[in-house]
Structure 1
Amino acid sequence: MDSFGRKRVSGLLWIVLCAAPLVLLGCSPPPPGEVVVYTALDQEFSEPIFEAFTRRTGVEVKPKYDTESTKTLNLVSAILAESERPRCDLFWNNELLHTLRLERQGALRAYQSPTTAAYPAEYRSAEGEWCGFAARARVLLVNTQLLAEARWPDSIEDLTDPQWRDRCGIAKPLFGTTATHAACLYQAWGKERATRFFEDVQRNCRVMSGNRQVSKAVASGQLLFGLTDTDDAMLEVEAGSPVKIVYPDQGADQEGEELGALFIPNSLCLIKGSPNPAAAEQLMEFLLSPMVEGRLVDGPGAQIPLNPATEAKPRVETPDSVRAMPADFAEAAAGWDAAAEELKRIFATAG
């Protein structure tokens, strides 16, 4: 081979060697990517779980949070406003009412998975558009230093008793789990009775911006008792505050079979047309796993497991140990707009 031929072969070999890394790079898997989550669960509870997901998968979680008092409503409003060009891939709601409202407005994408199928039918969509997990109960929190046990309230209707005027509290029932509770009461009682109840509550109670504020006010002695969630109540219990949780409406002599302690799950749903659908499904599977639900059960929020495979033991009562309020969440969501108009009128100047 002459010198020209040798140079030509060497040149071709050099081109091949230089091109090989580019070919290999082109065949390598794409980077893990990202997933955008709008979450109403408190950042202190959800952020460590997102970090665990990223460590396991390499997928970056970009969460959007909002303020304590109006976060669910603001996040839902954002999802609806962005419906033409969705930014959110997955919505982690800390209640169920507004998830069902998104479902009714066609904003959700169906996703059937073996993980979802493990949850009880009443806590998931038959069409696969949402799944509930890690519940909380609506409870009364009592200051034990200021109120003797014989006088403890045992019903949500104690919030309307004039003897406790301005010494009991509730979060404004237009947001969060208090809104879900209000919607369920309108569905169970009907408009007339529920409206009368909330009018009495507004006159009698101190109306606060959120359940956390109610729990803190009871623990500090600003209130004798208040209606709140088990996660906020347990933060005070386990901090050593002089408080006790009362599960309302447990007595056989109390009016109405429709009462009891209302249990409200967290809920997950995928947003239709979102930019990162595969990563969103991956994150949803992770969040619904027994491991993650167990972490929420064992964590400071003391959530209540709904997946039978979750081995963690709850630190609060469950629907198996106390009387639960029967709730038709779908019907409550369907009637929410009408109920909200009444509640806006009643609580226009409160909170």
Structure 2
Amino acid sequence: MRSSNWPSQRALLFWCVTLFTAVVVSTAIASGCSSRTQPEVVVYTALDEMFSKPILDAFEKKTGIKALPVFDTEASKTTGLVSRIIAEKDRPRADVFWNNEIVQTIMLKQKGLLAPYHSPSSDAIPSGFKDPEFFWTGFAARGRVIIFNPETTTTPPTSIRDLLKPEWSGRAAIAKPIFGTTAAHAAVLFAAWGEEEAKTYFRGLLQNNVAVLAGNATVRDMVANGEYAAGMTDTDDANGAVLDGRPAKWLFPDQEEGGMGALIIPNTVALVKDAPHPDAAQKLIDYLLSPDVEEALAKSRSLQIPLNPAVRVPDGVPTLSSIRAMAVDFEKAASLFEKAADFIRSEFLK
């Protein structure tokens, strides 16, 4: 004789079997999806998004690896991302650091936060722009230049020391030398000139009423607007003003025979130590160091100078051989970065 609650027991059994089947199927589906998850790479990049994102999109299209970029802001170029890598050292989130300059990349190496990787794409890069131990490699350089407004001056400064002259009092501008390429420039001068001479130079800029603005793009805009006659900026910012038809021209400083030369600052790419996705990171590094990327950046508004001699340099883009480049010990500059930064903050943030 069947129990009076047999129908309810049968219903309970039915729903248990149904639930078990659903769990098994969903687990199988999840497992299958997981095995087909798109590979990814997290890249911290200080290069402006308008220039770096198309490169990363092309990488993703070519390789199928999803690039997850974290960009920096103009006001805190490079420094913000460097601080983030330092803060995350125990549990890194970034796989690749794509810096728009070199000094703070070397500083990360000195702090033990990068891992060596010898990319085959780096072999053609000149030795002065790559680490002999393969912790970082430079590519696609920019130069520190003098930008001037031809409507307000016909005799622009031709040396960075010219900004100390009385005729440029109140008429010239620089970016605050705390972030990005301006911070790198300060550290390089500490290394090249010595601490005391570099301090005298920066104090002299303030004493000569050289304006200190938020960033290189602001220097470009205020010179092009006629608010200042000249200033120091980077080739990419200066070129943007020219392409837009604004009253602006630019030149590499200190190009005379025996002159110091212009500071040439490459992008740098490095593998972060204990990167979560090391294989994908290496593929991205290989791609960024390829001739195609240098050529693309040279053709862009960024006007970046190729370092690989095999790259076809577009018309109007400077070549390394056409510039008197400043001789720089970047390792020494990196070791002096904090000292230079402390001084700059004490003088420029009063």
Tell me the TM-score range normalised by the shorter chain.
0.7 to 0.9
Distance (whole Å) between structure 2 residues aligned to residue 314 and residue 33 of structure 1: 38
Secondary structure of the residue aligned to 2:236 is: helix
Distance (whole Å) between structure 1 residues aligned to residue 69 and residue 110 of structure 2: 24
Partner residue of 1:101? Answer: 107
Partner residue of 1:183? Answer: 187
Partner residue of 1:248? Answer: 253
Q: Is contact 1:110-1:270 (8 Å) kept?
A: yes
Deviations 1:105-131 (A, max 9, x none): 000011112111221111111111100
Q: Cα distance 1:84–1:28, how it changes in 2: closer, same or farther (>3 A)?
A: closer
- Answering whether residue 219 of structure 2 is matched by residue 214 of structure 1, we say yes
Partner residue of 1:267? Answer: 268
Q: Cα distance 1:89–1:340, how it changes in 2: closer, same or farther (>3 A)?
A: same
Distance (whole Å) between structure 2 residues aligned to residue 108 and residue 28 of structure 1: 29
Q: Is contact 1:188-1:258 (8 Å) kept?
A: no
- Answering whether residue 339 of structure 2 is matched by residue 333 of structure 1, we say no
Q: TM-score, with normalisation over the residues of structure 1?
A: 0.88
Out of 162, 167, 175, the residue aligned to residue 163 of structure 1 is 167
- Answering whether residue 228 of structure 2 is matched by residue 227 of structure 1, we say no
Distance (whole Å) between structure 1 residues aligned to residue 220 and residue 317 of structure 2: 16
Partner residue of 1:76? Answer: 82
Partner residue of 1:11? Answer: none
Q: Cα distance 1:146–1:314, how it changes in 2: closer, same or farther (>3 A)?
A: same
Q: Is contact 2:60-2:67 (8 Å) kept?
A: yes
Letter of the 1:190 counterpart: G
Q: Is contact 2:305-2:320 (8 Å) kept?
A: no
Query: Counterparts in 2 of 1:307-318, with a 5 A limit?
Result: 307-313=308-314, 315-318=316-319
Distance (whole Å) between structure 2 residues aligned to residue 67 and residue 102 of structure 1: 20
Q: Is contact 1:137-1:229 (8 Å) kept?
A: yes
Partner residue of 1:278? Answer: 279
Q: How many residue pairs end up in the alignment? A: 322
Q: Is contact 1:65-1:71 (8 Å) kept?
A: no
Q: Is contact 2:173-2:213 (8 Å) kept?
A: yes
Query: Counterparts in 2 of 1:298-309, with a 5 A limit?
Result: 298-309=299-310
Partner residue of 1:65? Answer: 71
Unpaired stretches in structure 2, ≥5 consecutive residues:
1-24
Secondary structure of the residue aligned to 1:38 is: strand
Secondary structure of the residue aligned to 2:313 is: coil
Partner residue of 2:288? Answer: 287
Letter of the 1:321 counterpart: S
Q: CA RMSD in A?
A: 1.9
Letter of the 1:220 counterpart: N
Q: Is contact 2:307-2:320 (8 Å) kept?
A: no
Letter of the 1:101 counterpart: M
Unpaired stretches in structure 1, ≥5 consecutive residues:
1-18
Secondary structure of the residue aligned to 2:78 is: helix
Distance (whole Å) between structure 1 residues aligned to residue 143 and residue 65 of structure 2: 33
Q: Is contact 1:132-1:265 (8 Å) kept?
A: yes
Deviations 1:115-151 (A, max 9, x none): 1122111111111110000000111001001112xx2
Distance (whole Å) between structure 1 residues aligned to residue 33 and residue 211 of structure 2: 63
Distance (whole Å) between structure 1 residues aligned to residue 34 and residue 233 of structure 2: 52
Q: CA deviation at 1:343?
A: 1.2
Partner residue of 2:132? Answer: 126
Secondary structure of the residue aligned to 1:308 is: coil
Secondary structure of the residue aligned to 2:132 is: coil
Q: CA deviation at 1:163?
A: 2.0
Q: CA deviation at 1:322?
A: 2.4
Distance (whole Å) between structure 2 residues aligned to residue 26 and residue 224 of structure 1: 63
**Identity of matched residues, %:** 46
Deviations 1:270-315 (A, max 9, x none): 1011111111111111111111111001011010000122123363
Deviations 1:141-171 (A, max 9, x none): 01001112xx221110121122222210001
Letter of the 1:244 counterpart: K
Letter of the 2:285 counterpart: M
Q: TM-score, with normalisation over the residues of structure 2?
A: 0.88
Deviations 1:189-228 (A, max 9, x none): 1111110100011232110111111111111111100000
Distance (whole Å) between structure 2 residues aligned to residue 30 and residue 109 of structure 1: 28
Q: Cα distance 1:157–1:81, how it changes in 2: closer, same or farther (>3 A)?
A: same
Name the stretch that deviates more: 225-234 or 118-127: 118-127
Partner residue of 1:12? Answer: none
Secondary structure of the residue aligned to 1:320 is: helix
- Answering whether residue 202 of structure 2 is matched by residue 198 of structure 1, we say yes
